[in-house]
Amino acid sequence: MRNEPDYTWPRDDFSRIPYGVYHDKNIYDEEQYRIFRGPTWNYLAFEAEVPNPGDFKSVFVGDTPVVVSRDTDGTVHAFINRCAHRGSTVCREEFGNTKSHVCVYHLWSYDLAGNLTGVPFRNGVKGKGGLPKDFDLGCHGLRKLRVEVYCGIIFGTFSDESESLAEYLDESVMKHLARLMHKPIRILGYQRQYIRGNWKLYTDNVRDPNHGGLLHPFQVRFGIARLTQWGGALLDRRNRHNISFVAEGTDSDEGAAEAYGESSAFQKDYGLADTAMLELRREFGDEITLSILSIYPGAVFHQIGNSLATRQVRTKGPDAFELYWTYYGYQDDDQEMTDHRLRQANMAGPGGLISMEDGEAIEIVHRAILREKESHAVVEYGGRGEIGSQDCLVTETPMRGGWSYYCELMGIQADKAPS
Amino acid sequence: MTARSNGEVQEAIADMLADYGHLIDADRLEEWLDFFVEDSVYKIMPRENVVKGLPLSLMLCENKNMIRDRITSLRQANVYNIHVDRHVIGRPRIVGEEDGVYSIEANYAVFQTDQDGMTRVFSVGQYVDKVVFLDDGPKFKEKVVVVDTAAVPTLLATPL
């Protein structure tokens, strides 16, 4: 690494995480190059968000601004949103439709693929000024990402060496994405959340099925996700990504009450005055009623009952990140089904009855570990040693999978686990 | 219905909004609930969704029972940042009236203060409401909080 940090990884099963990596600015900078701009595939947007030629959407990969652009022939491109001339933001709007992307500063003009097509006063005025005669427009396009589309989901990578998207996602993730995207979708809207914590505390959170049945009492109370239900975590062959899943209705209130015992997570003495939100409509032909798919590094696809959304982690330095939520339904949903999805959206997002706790959990960790560079988080639910898929929810093993890939990307060598 | 002058309507609605903000700030949400009629909608919408014509909200209560349930959940289930809210609500504009239903708009700012005594602007936006007058005063028939601060700082627990 350019800035070799001095953190110890005392176990090569990644059951210890040095807290310093959540605060260190050098580590953060290195992550941008090695992870977000490295050989990872990053979820950018849905095709449904840029359906027509000329449509574009401004997004982020890590903290790099990226434009997703639909070309006249239907191809989707992605490029860094930074003018090749003097670095200004080219595309200032979040969404739009255009024939070309023109930088407002000196009016350099790019086509929908990000190629530089024109600069004003290239030859100067009356033989004076202008660009050198040998200035080659072809060498000054916007920096492009490689793009692949799977099931209407647009992914991009900065690296020419990345494996194919299919290899990166692996069969388990592709199957789950195909399940979610089994018919054309319709965007229902966006939510944003600005959390004052390190982005990796969030990627930990979505690889930790154990917390779901403890931190989030609402879903425990109403049997939406409880540690006593059938569920687990499905990892890809290299343990980079994770699908945590739960099947509602596979335990009983009584059994759960007994298992939770005195734990504060399960309170039975209240109910809802309007239970429409709890209604579950099975639509995937399987038992899974809640699933949190996390694709390394910063993408999440969730199904909470009939609420469907993606979350994009947009890093804002070591101490903050934005969670950008995109909710969708299907084009053939009738109004009643759309209303149902919108009602169930109450359970997720920054104000989610289930998910609001995550914002607090991440901030209270981030605050408390500031001075603990050489102390370690303990990750042993689900066991030590080998990393793999889990057939129960009382596990945080998927986190260790995420960290094993993190260390590989960052060039960090973990010490051998004590035997 | 008693005939009210424009001034009386304006004043009654302004008083209600002042009380509305006060009861949230005082964590008296069970009393705050009384500002809504039974079939009232309470919705918090990011402005960017409104502008794009997208229906997704940050919080959606389709009736008073769902508002009740939000309060129940806050009291019983949810874990959130320990904070104090402070509403500052501007003078309401009455933008229309039809069959006794007043359409009003008012700007608001909510400041949030944490346990370190640090205050931040938590949310700025506009109330876009429908108000009816009952025997015991004005009530919301619909309340839509259109949030400019779309990037919710940390999380959204207490209503706006």
* CA of residue A141 relative to chain centroid, distance: 28
Those residues with Cβ within 8 angstroms of residue A318's Cβ, 6 or more apart along the chain or in another chain: A22, A23, A24, A25, A27, A28, A198
- The CATH label, of 3.20.10.10, 3.40.930.10, 3.40.50.720, 2.102.10.10, for the domain at A42-148 is 2.102.10.10
Q: Is the pLDDT of residue A283 over 70?
A: yes
A327 touches A49 (CB < 8 A) = no
DSSP string, A16-85: EEEGGGGT-HHHHHHHIIIIITTT--EEEEEGGGS-STTEEEEEEETTEEEEEEE-TTS-EEEEESS-TT
Q: Distance between the two ends of chain B, CA-based, in angstroms?
A: 30
What's the whole-number mean pLDDT along residues A180-187?
Answer: 98
Nearest to A308 by CA among A290, A296, A324: A290
Chain B interface includes A189 (CB < 8 A): yes
What is the model's pLDDT at position A392? 92
Strand residue runs (E) in A257-320:
290-295, 299-304, 307-315
Chain B interface includes A277 (CB < 8 A): yes
| Residue A4 confidence class, pLDDT cut points 50, 70, 90 | low
Residue B151: list chain A partners with CB under 8 A.
Answer: 192-194, 322
Per-residue pLDDT tens digits for A214-238: 998 888 888 888 999 999 999 999 9
What's the whole-number mean pLDDT along residues A136-147?
Answer: 97
Q: Is the pLDDT of residue A417 over 80?
A: no
CA of A345 vs chain B CAs: smallest distance (Å): 8
Q: Where are the alpha helices (DSSP H) in B53-92?
A: 64-76
Do the chains contact at A273 and B76, CB–CB below 8 Å? no
Q: What is the pTM of this model?
A: 0.96
Q: Is the pLDDT of residue A91 over 60?
A: yes
Chain A interface includes B30 (CB < 8 A): no
A104-A105-A111 Cα angle (round to 5): 50
| Token pair listed for A82 | 């930074």
Q: What single letter denotes the amino acid at residue A4? A: E
What is the model's pLDDT at position A179? 98
A27-A406-A159 Cα angle (round to 5): 90
What is the model's pLDDT at position A358? 94
Do the chains contact at B81 and A350, CB–CB below 8 Å? no
Do the chains contact at A189 and B81, CB–CB below 8 Å? no
DSSP string, B85-148: EEEEEPPPEEEEEETTEEEEEEEEEEEEE-TTS-EEEEEEEEEEEEEEEETTEEEEEEEEEEES
Q: Is the pLDDT of residue A136 over 50?
A: yes
Phi, psi of B125 (to 5 degrees): 180, -150
Specify the length of chain A in residues.
419
Do the chains contact at B63 and A350, CB–CB below 8 Å? no
| Residue A5 confidence class, pLDDT cut points 50, 70, 90 | low
Which of A322, A342, A360 has its CB closest to that of B60?
A342
Residue B65: list chain A partners with CB under 8 A.
Answer: 272-274
In chain B, count H helices and then E strands.
Answer: 4, 8
Do the chains contact at A360 and B81, CB–CB below 8 Å? yes
The domains of chain B, with CATH numbers, are 6-147 (3.10.450.50)
Q: Is the pLDDT of residue A262 over 90?
A: no
Per-residue pLDDT tens digits for B22-37: 999 999 999 999 999 9
Phi, psi of B68 (to 5 degrees): -55, -45
Percent of chain A clearing pLDDT 90 (strictly above): 88
- CA contacts within 13 A on the Cβ side of B69: 24
User: What is the three-class DSSP state of A244?
Assistant: strand
Q: Which residue has the tokens 């030859």?
A: A123
B40-B41-B43 Cα angle (round to 5): 150
Which of B63, B73, B81 has its CB closest to that of A353?
B73
- Residue A396: CB atoms within 10 A of its CB come to 22
Do the chains contact at B81 and A359, CB–CB below 8 Å? yes
Residue A322: list chain B partners with CB under 8 A.
Answer: 151
User: What is the three-class DSSP state of A213?
Assistant: helix
Q: B53: alpha, beta or left, given left = phi > 0 and alpha = psi -120 to 50? A: left
- Where in chain A are the domains? 42-148, 171-410
What's the whole-number mean pLDDT along residues A291-310?
Answer: 97
Chain A interface includes B154 (CB < 8 A): yes
User: What is the three-class DSSP state of A281?
Assistant: coil
Across chain A, mean pLDDT equals 95
What is the model's pLDDT at position A419? 58
Per-residue pLDDT tens digits for A356-373: 999 999 999 999 999 998
What is the model's pLDDT at position A238? 97
| Residue B4 confidence class, pLDDT cut points 50, 70, 90 | confident
- What is the CATH architecture of A171-410? Alpha-Beta Complex (3.90)
- Residue A402: CB atoms within 10 A of its CB come to 25
A173 touches A150 (CB < 8 A) = no
Which of A327, A350, A353 has its CB closest to that of B152?
A350
Is the complex ipTM more than 0.90? yes
Q: Which residue has the tokens 């102390």?
A: A375
What's the whole-number mean pLDDT along residues A301-314?
Answer: 97
What is the model's pLDDT at position A1? 47
Per-residue pLDDT tens digits for A332-355: 999 999 999 999 999 999 999 999
Distances (CA, A) of A21 to A62, A375, A397: 16, 11, 19
| Residue A261 confidence class, pLDDT cut points 50, 70, 90 | confident
Q: How would you list the strands of the sheet with A146-150, edge to edge?
A: A42-46, A153-157, A146-150
